[in-house]
Amino acid sequence: MHQFLPYAWFGGRCVPFAEATLSVATHALHYGTGAFGGMRALPNPADATEILLFRADRHARRLSQSARLLLTELSETTILEAITAFLRANRPSTPAYLRPFVYTSDLGIAPRLHNIETDFLIYGLELGDYLSPEGVSCRISSWCRQEDRSLPLRGKISGAYITSSLAKTEAVKSGFDEALLLNSRGKVSEASGMNLFMVRDGVLITPGVDQDILEGITRASVLELARAMDIPTLERPVDKTELFVADEVFLSGTAAKVTPVRRIETTDLPLDRPIMERLRERLTAITEGRDPAYDHWVTRVRLDG
């Protein structure tokens, strides 16, 4: 059972979590017509009155864009102001995961995005490691990642997560930790809620934004850091068999952070992961506010502001 933060942002203000409830007839519940974000909020280890958010501006921008893809408006400023108020009400003392959500809040039927009310809420929960930092086993899913011509993959659209859910459960029920999905062209796309990287001959490779991936903020950050650290990078289509012969494979995401893949199907991957380790160490230091060169990636929310 999750430990939820005591207050939710609901109807434009902070209310006790238990009072933030919706009608059974809520349109988004039936049609998946919502979009969400996912951010980590970290109490500053060096200052208890400050919460650190990793790339809050990017998260707000993606959620605002997701809202636009659902044909509604939600500005980055509105999102960031609500997050600040939410954090000041909750004052989390352990690492938390924030879930902002924009959705069709009207009651009743008919799938549509016109002539419909929308609303915005935020809730949070305590979250440590989502996947084991020691490494995970992955199954190649029998489910295929959706195509951008079927639904807008640049947004974190709720309805799209039926595929992630089917793939994750299929993987777990068959003895694996996580699922890797191919796209409709048979190329590697991503995991159920993370982007994928591999290292071959010293080059860090990840499927490009044309491979039906979610454009992950952690992914973009890993690529930018790698370039700054003189690690050669390549965004290109990735074939399934490349994963079996890769020197390193890892996943990236807000919840998963940087998580190594130790086995894919029946193939064990090398335990030595020098490039992933360097990137993970650097990213951890940045998210914990310990890397002055990347302080601009960290938003510091003063709890007593």
Ligand X SMILES: Cc1ncc(COP(=O)(O)O)c(C=O)c1O
The single residue among 92, 124, 207, 216 that binds ligand X, judged by CB under 6 A, is 216
Pairing of strands 13-16, 298-302: unpaired
User: Considering the rule CB under 6 A, would residue 254 count as an interface residue with ligand X?
Assistant: yes
For the CB of residue 265, give the shortest distance to ligand X in the complex, in Å: 21
How far apart, in whole angstroms, are the C-alpha atoms of residue 41 and residue 299?
Answer: 10
The single residue among 92, 100, 124, 193 that binds ligand X, judged by CB under 6 A, is 193
Q: What are phi and psi of 81, to 5 degrees?
A: -65, -40
The single residue among 35, 67, 80, 194 that binds ligand X, judged by CB under 6 A, is 194
Please state the length of the chain: 305
Nearer to ligand X, 33 or 252 (CB): 252
**Sites for ligand X among residues 8-27 (CB under 6 A):** none
Binding mask 258-297 for ligand X (x = CB under 6 A): ----------------------------------------
User: Considering the rule CB under 6 A, would residue 146 count as an interface residue with ligand X?
Assistant: no
For the CB of residue 153, give the shortest distance to ligand X in the complex, in Å: 9
Count the residues of the shown chain that bind ligand X, applying the rule CB under 6 A: 15
How far apart, in whole angstroms, are the C-alpha atoms of residue 46 and residue 65?
Answer: 34
DSSP secondary structure string for all residues of 5-68: -SEEEETTEEEEGGG----TTBHHHHH--EEE--EEEEE-TT-TTEEEEETHHHHHHHHHHHHH
How far apart, in whole angstroms, are the C-alpha atoms of residue 17 and residue 120?
Answer: 15
**Sites for ligand X among residues 57-116 (CB under 6 A):** none
User: Considering the rule CB under 6 A, would residue 223 count as an interface residue with ligand X?
Assistant: no
The single residue among 32, 34, 38, 289 that binds ligand X, judged by CB under 6 A, is 38
Taking residue 65's Cβ as centre, other Cβ atoms within 10 Å add up to: 17
How far apart, in whole angstroms, are the C-alpha atoms of residue 173 and residue 166?
Answer: 10
User: Considering the rule CB under 6 A, would residue 178 count as an interface residue with ligand X?
Assistant: no
The single residue among 205, 214, 261, 286 that binds ligand X, judged by CB under 6 A, is 214
Span near ligand X by CB under 6 A; candidates 63-71, 83-91, 199-207, 209-217: 209-217
How far apart, in whole angstroms, are the C-alpha atoms of residue 13 and residue 200?
Answer: 49
Where on the chain is the footprint of ligand X (CB under 6 A)? 38, 156, 164, 190, 193-195, 214, 216-219, 252-254
